[in-house]
Amino acid sequence: MVYVALITGFLLILMGLYGALTNRNILRMTVAFSIASTGTHLVLVAVGYIPGRTAPILDGAVTAADASLRIIDPVPQALVLTAIVIGLGVTALMLTYAYKLYETKRTLDISKYTDLKW
């Protein structure tokens, strides 16, 4: 299952990047990136997974004493949490940019925004 998640994650990253590289529409690029970052999250979580163990929450089933034998690695999860939030921030920013760009030239085609070059 770990491998399934990993491979899916990598595939999502590649698909997302492919979309970002080939779609000229700014919003579609943003969508593609959000898919790629979902893929990244999947990879991160999958790496921290240990087959057969449970979530790193102590309750009746998992006590503090045997936690280190029962739970999976909490660190990747913490990282992913941060990454998700940051990803949202960047996506929101890209969207705002898209809107603002559209306002200046009335197009979402990224190849039209080449006033700066060389």
Partner 1 sequence: MSTVMFVMSLLLACAMIASAYVALRGQSLSMAVLAAGAVSLFASVMFVLLAAPDVAMTEAAIGSGLTTFLFFFVMGRVKGGKDD
Partner 2 sequence: MIKKFVALLLLAGLGLMFVGLLLGFTPDQVLNTTASYYADHSVEDTGAANIVTAVIVTYRGLDTLGEVTVLFLTATIVSLILTQPRPSGTPIIGVAEKKALSSGELLQTGTRLLVPLVLLFGVYVFVNGHLTPGGGFQGGAILASALLLLLLSDPTKRFNHRLISRVESISGILYVVIGVLGLVLAGGFLDNRILPLGAFGTLFSAGAIPVIYTLIGLKVGAEFSSMMVTLSESRDR
Partner 3 sequence: MVSTLFIIAGGLGAAFLLGLLREEWRGFAYGVTLAALAFMSWVAGSWLWAFVFDGAVGVDVFTAGHNPPFAINLRMGLPEAVLVLLVNAMGLMVGVYLKGTLMRLGRRAMAVLLVAVLALCGIILTRDIFNLFVFIELTAISTAGLVLLSADARALGAGFKYLVISQIISILLLVGIIFAYHATGTLNIDGMAEASVALMKGGTLAFFLILMALIVELKPFPANGWALDIYESAHPAFSALFSAAFSAAMLFAVDKVLLIGGEPWPKIATGVGIVTFVGSNLLALSQTNDRRLLGYSSVAQVGLVLTVIGQRAVLGEHYLFVVGGILLAHSVAKAGLFWVSGLVVERQLSAWAVLRQNPFLVFAFATFMALLIGLPPFPGFYAKWELVHALVSEGRLALVVFILFGALLEVGYLFRWFGYIIKREASVESAMSKPVAFLPRKLVVIGVGVVSAWGLGYIWGALSDFANVLQALPVLFALSFLALEGLPAKLKNTLAIVGLVAFFAISYENYNQLQLIFGAIILIGGAVILLASYETHGKRIGFYPSAMLMYAGLAMLIVAEDSFSFFVAWEILTVGSYFLILRGKFSEPHALSYIIFSLGGAFAILAGFALAAGGAPRIPLEALAQVPATLAPWVFILLAIGFMTKTAAIGLHIWLPGAHAEAETDVSPMVSGILLKAGLFGLMVLLLNMGKTQFYGVELTYVLLWIGALSALLGNLMAIFQEDAKRLLAYSSIGQMGYAVFGLAMMNHLGWLMALMFVINHYVYKSMLFLSVGGIAKRTGTRDMYRMGGLIALMPLSFIAVLIGIIAVSGVPPLSGFGGRWIFYNAIMTADARLPMILIFLSGPVAFLYLFRLIHTIFLGQLKDEHRRLKEAPFWIVVPQMIYVVFLLGFAVFPGLALRRVDAFLNPYFPNGGLNWEGLTISSDFGYWSPVSIMITIGVIFATLLAWLVYLNHNAQKVKQFNIVFAAERPYRPETTHFAWNFFAPYRKALGFMVQPFVTQFWDGLTGSLHHTAQFTRKLYTGNGQTYAFHLLAFVVVVYLILVGGLV
Q: Which positions touch partner 2 (CB under 8 A)? A: 2-3, 6-7, 10, 13-14, 17-18, 21-22, 47-51, 55-59, 64, 67-68, 71-75, 77-79, 81-82, 84-86, 88-90, 92-93, 95-97, 99-100, 102-106
43 binding partner 1? (CB under 8 A): no
d(CA 104, CA 69): 58
- Among residues 7, 65, 70, which one has the least CA distance to residue 39? 7
Minimum CB–partner distance for residue 31 and partner 2 (Å):
16
Minimum CB–partner distance for residue 118 and partner 2 (Å):
20
Minimum CB–partner distance for residue 1 and partner 3 (Å):
16
Classified as helix, coil or strand, 71 is strand
Find out whether 30 and 19 touch, Cβ atoms under 8 Å. Answer: no
Which of the listed partners (partner 1, partner 3, partner 2, none) does 59 bind, with a CB threshold of 5 to 8 Å by partner kind? partner 2
95 binding partner 1? (CB under 8 A): yes
58 binding partner 1? (CB under 8 A): no
CA 51 to chain CA centroid, nearest Å: 23
d(CA 110, CA 97): 12
d(CA 114, CA 59): 57
